[in-house]
Amino acid sequence: MNSMSPSQAPLLQVSGVTLQYKTRDHLVTATYRVSFDVYPSDRFVLLGPSGCGKSTLLKAVGGYMSPTEGTLKLKGQTIRKPGPDRCMVFQEFDQLLPWKTVKKNVMFGLEASGKLRGRAAEEKAMQYIEKVNLAKFADSYPHMLSGGMKQRVAIARAMAMEPDILLMDEPFAALDALTRRKMQDELLQLWADTRFTVLFVTHSIPEAVLIGNRILMLSPHPGQVKAELNSDGSDPADSQGKKLSERIHDMLFSEQVEEMGPLGALPDARLVDRAGHHAVGGPLS
Amino acid sequence: MNEAAPARAAGVHNERPEFVREGELTKEFGVVEKPLTVAERLFNNGALRKVVLLLIIGAIWEWYARHLNNPLLVPTLSSTLQAFWEAILTGAMPARVATSVRLLFQGYGVGLLLAFVFTTLAITTRIGNDLLELLTSMFNPLPAIALLPLALIWFGLGDKSIIFVVVHSVLWAVALNTHSGFRSVSTTMRMVGRNYGLGGLRLVFKVLIPAAFPSILTGLKIGWAFAWRTLIAAELVYGAASGQGGLGWFIYESKNQLEIPSVFAGLFAVILIGLFVENVIFRGIETRTVRRWGMQT
C-alpha cells in the first residue's frame, strides 16, 4: 500500500463520534461512537448502505453539525464550523452557482474565502480548470455542461482552494455508469498529480475498492464501524481466494439479512445494483 | 448471480437471424436540415405576431367608433392618437407622466428597501419569519387604495399619501416572492456558500439573492404592476395636491371637461408605459440574467 511512516501524525482524527439530528418527530442517531484517523495523502473511503450515517459523518467533518459525543479534530484543532480548509464536493449538480461561468465558479471559492483576489484568483482558477480538462468551457455557464463536466468543475473549485482535506459526498453517484468510470480514473490521475487528502463517501463497493487506499465500512441504523480495510485498487484476492469486493459484499449482505429478515435483501440488492458491475445479471438489472 | 445467464437464454425466442448491413447506406433521404420558408420564420417571431394582433384590434376599434359615431362615449382611435399627440406637443402629457413616474419610483424604491429588510430578517431569525408570514397574510389581500382615506388623515393631501399607498402595494408582493425564493434555494447551495466562509449578509448577497433571482424578479414584476395601478387610482381619487398632478389626474380632469379623446389618450399613456416596463425593462433584465443562467427558459 501507501508508504506511510508510522511517526506521521494523523491529519484528521475522528474519535468516538456520535451524531444525532432531529426530524419533526424523532431524535435520530445517525452514527454511534465512530472513530477513525485520516493521514495526509490518504484516499479514505467511507462505505456503507443507506442509513449508515456516512453522509452525516462527512457533514460533521465539514463542520455543518457538531457531534453529541466525541471529537473531530483537523490538524489537532477541533472542528467547530464550516471553513475553506475542508472543501466539499457534493453529489448534486446544483452545487455550481448557475449565475456564474465555470471560471467564475472556481474563482468564487477563492474570492469568497479571501484566499486570493482578482488576477491571482483567475490564474489559480484557470490552472485547476485545465487540470480537469475544461479550459475550453471556462466561459460557459453550468446549464450548458453535462453532468460529468459539472462535477469536474466542482472538483476544480474545491481543489483550487488547496484545502487540507477534500470532502467528497458521493460525487459520482448521479452520473451514468460510463461517465462515472471515467471520472473515477480522472480523480485517481489528479491524486497522482497532487497527492491531496480526500475523504470520499460512497455506497458503491467497486467504487470504494477502486478509489480508496483505506476503506471504513459502516453498518446501518445507527452507523458503527464494522471494519477498516486496505485497498490498492486492484481488488486482490485473500488467502481463501476471495476478492476484497466480495469480502465487503458478504459483510454488508449478511448483516442486512440478519437484521431485516428475507425482505432485508431488497435494499441491499439495490445497493449492489447502483454499485455497478455487481448488478449485471442481478435481480434488479 | 452469474448462474442466471444460461437460465435467461433458455426461454427466449432466438430464431431471428442476426444481420449487419454491408456497404454504403442510402443517401436518398433529401436534405437533413431544410431551412424554413420566409412566411414560417415570420410567423415564429412573437413580437411580429403581437403587432399584427394589435393592428387588428386597432382596426376594430376605429371601425366600431365610426359606426357608433358618438365621440362622447367612444372616440375613434385616430382622434385618441391625435389628442395624445397634442398633449405631448403642449407639454401637458410629459409633465404628467414625469410626476407619476417620479412618485412611482419613490414608492417602489421605499417598498423594495422595506421588503429587503423584512425578508432578510425572515431568513435569519425564526421570529422574523413568523412576523413576515403574519404581516403578508394580513396586508397582502388588503387593497392599497382602501388605505387612502387613512393616508390622507395621516399625511395630508400630498405626495406622501400617494407614496404611502404605493409602498403598501409593492412591499407585500415583493416580500412574499423574495421570501419564497430564498426558502427554495437548495441546501447544497447554502452549504457551498458556508463552505467558503460566507455567512450573514454576505451569504444573502453572494448566494441567496442571485439563487432566488427568478422569484425575486417575479416579485418585482408583480410589485411594479400593483404599484402602477395603485398610483393611477390614487391620483384619480384625489388628484393634484402639490399643483402638479400625475397621469391619473390628467384622466380625471379631461373627463370633467368632457374631453373624452384626452381621457382615452391618458389611458393610452398608462398602457404604453406599462408595455414599456414589461417588455423592455423587465424583458431586458430577464434575458441578461435568469435566461442567460439557464434558470428560466
CB–CB contacts below 8 A, A to B? 75
- For A70, the 3-state DSSP assignment is strand
Q: In this predicted structure, what is the pLDDT of residue A243?
A: 80
Whole-number Å distance between alpha carbons of B196 and A257: 42
The answer to whether the beta carbons of residues B215 and B177 sit under 8 Å apart is yes
Longest dimension (CA), chain B: 96
H or E, element range at A199? strand A198-202
The distance from CA B136 to its chain's CA centroid, rounded to whole angstroms, is: 20
Mark which residues 109-148 of A lie under 8 Å from B by CB: 109, 112-114, 141-144
The answer to whether the beta carbons of residues A100 and A145 sit under 8 Å apart is no
Say which DSSP state A252 is in: H
Q: In this predicted structure, what is the pLDDT of residue B127?
A: 92
Render chain B in DSSP notation, one character per residue. -TTHHHHHHHTS---SPP----SPPP-TT--SSPPPPHHHHHHT-HHHHHHHHHHHHHHHHHHHHHHHT-TTTS--HHHHHHHHHHHHHHTHHHHHHHHHHHHHHHHHHHHHHHHHHHHHHHHH-HHHHHHHHHHHHHHTTS-GGGGHHHHHHHH-SSHHHHHHHHHHHHHHHHHHHHHHHHHTS-HHHHHHHHHTT--HHHHIIIIIHHHTHHHHHHHHHHHHHHHHHHHHHHHHHH--SSS---HHHHHHHHHHTT-HHHHHHHHHHHHHHHHHIIIIIIHHHHHHTTTTTTS--
Say which DSSP state A10 is in: P
Say which DSSP state A136 is in: G
Q: Verify whether the Cβ–Cβ distance A109 to B1 is below 8 Å.
A: no
| Contact list, B294 vs chain A (CB under 8 Å) | 98, 141-144
A64 contact B CB<8A: yes
Q: In this predicted structure, what is the pLDDT of residue A282?
A: 34
Whole-number Å distance between alpha carbons of A57 and B20: 53
Residue from A36, A97, A101, A50 nearest A268 by CA: A50
Whole-number Å distance between alpha carbons of A190 and A152: 11
Tens digit of pLDDT at every position of chain A (285 positions): 444 455 578 888 888 888 888 888 888 888 888 888 988 888 999 998 887 888 889 999 988 988 888 888 888 888 888 888 899 999 888 899 999 999 999 999 888 888 888 888 888 888 889 888 888 898 899 998 888 889 889 999 998 888 899 999 988 888 888 888 888 888 898 888 888 899 999 988 888 888 888 889 888 888 888 888 888 877 777 777 778 888 888 787 765 544 444 444 444 444 444 444 443 333 333
From the list B207, B210, B294, the residue facing A141 with the nearest CB is B294
Strand partners, A28: A21
Q: Which residue of A has its CA nearest to B205?
A: A112
**Which amino acid, one-letter code, is at B161?**
S
Whole-number Å distance between alpha carbons of B181 and A207: 37
Whole-number Å distance between alpha carbons of A156 and B59: 60
B196 contact A CB<8A: yes
If chain B, 297 residues long, is cut into consecutive pieces of 10 residues, what is the mean pLDDT of each piece? 54 74 79 82 85 92 90 88 90 87 92 92 89 91 86 84 90 92 90 88 88 91 91 78 74 86 90 89 89 80
Query: Please, what is the Cα angle at B237 between B232 and B239, to 5 degrees?
Result: 75
A98 contact B CB<8A: yes
Whole-number Å distance between alpha carbons of B78 and A99: 47
Checking DSSP bridges between strand A198-202 and strand A165-169, what pairing results, if any?
Answer: parallel
H-helix segments, chain A: 54-62, 102-112, 118-131, 147-160, 177-194, 205-211, 244-260, 265-275
H or E, element range at A69? strand A69-74
Whole-number Å distance between alpha carbons of A208 and A229: 10
Q: At what angle do helices B77-90 and B46-68 cross, to 10 degrees?
A: 100
The torsion angles phi and psi of A236, rounded to 5 degrees, stand at -70, 155
Residue B276 CB coordination number (10 Å): 11
A108 to chain B, minimum CA–CA distance in Å?
A: 8
The answer to whether the beta carbons of residues A44 and A216 sit under 8 Å apart is yes
Cα end-to-end distance, chain A, whole Å = 34
Q: Verify whether the Cβ–Cβ distance B195 to A62 is below 8 Å.
A: yes
Tally of CA atoms within 13 A in the half-sphere of B203 that contains its CB: 18
The answer to whether the beta carbons of residues B233 and B248 sit under 8 Å apart is yes
What grid cell was written down for B46? 412573437
Q: Which residue of A has its CA nearest to B6?
A: A281
Whole-number Å distance between alpha carbons of B292 and A143: 9
Q: Verify whether the Cβ–Cβ distance A88 to B202 is below 8 Å.
A: no
Residues 6+ apart with CB under 8 A from A77: none
A80 contact B CB<8A: no
A84 contact B CB<8A: yes
pLDDT in tens, B87-134: 889 888 888 888 889 989 999 999 999 999 999 889 888 899 999 999
| Contact list, B8 vs chain A (CB under 8 Å) | 281
Mark which residues 1-60 of A lie under 8 Å from B by CB: none
H or E, element range at A231? none
A126 to chain B, minimum CA–CA distance in Å?
A: 18
Whole-number Å distance between alpha carbons of B122 and B129: 4
What grid cell was written down for A247? 469480502
Whole-number Å distance between alpha carbons of A198 and B258: 80
B289 contact A CB<8A: yes
Whole-number Å distance between alpha carbons of A41 and A4: 9
| Contact list, B289 vs chain A (CB under 8 Å) | 99
Whole-number Å distance between alpha carbons of A217 and A36: 11
Whole-number Å distance between alpha carbons of A114 and A211: 32
Q: Which residue of A has its CA nearest to B7?
A: A281
How many helices, marked H, and strands, marked E, lie in chain A? 8, 10
Say which DSSP state A14 is in: E
Q: Verify whether the Cβ–Cβ distance A82 to B189 is below 8 Å.
A: no
The answer to whether the beta carbons of residues A33 and A69 sit under 8 Å apart is yes
| Contact list, B189 vs chain A (CB under 8 Å) | 94-95, 97
> Which structural domains are found in chain B, ordered by start?
99-288 (1.10.3720.10)
**Region of A52 on the Ramachandran plot (φ > 0 left; ψ -120 to 50 alpha; else beta):** alpha
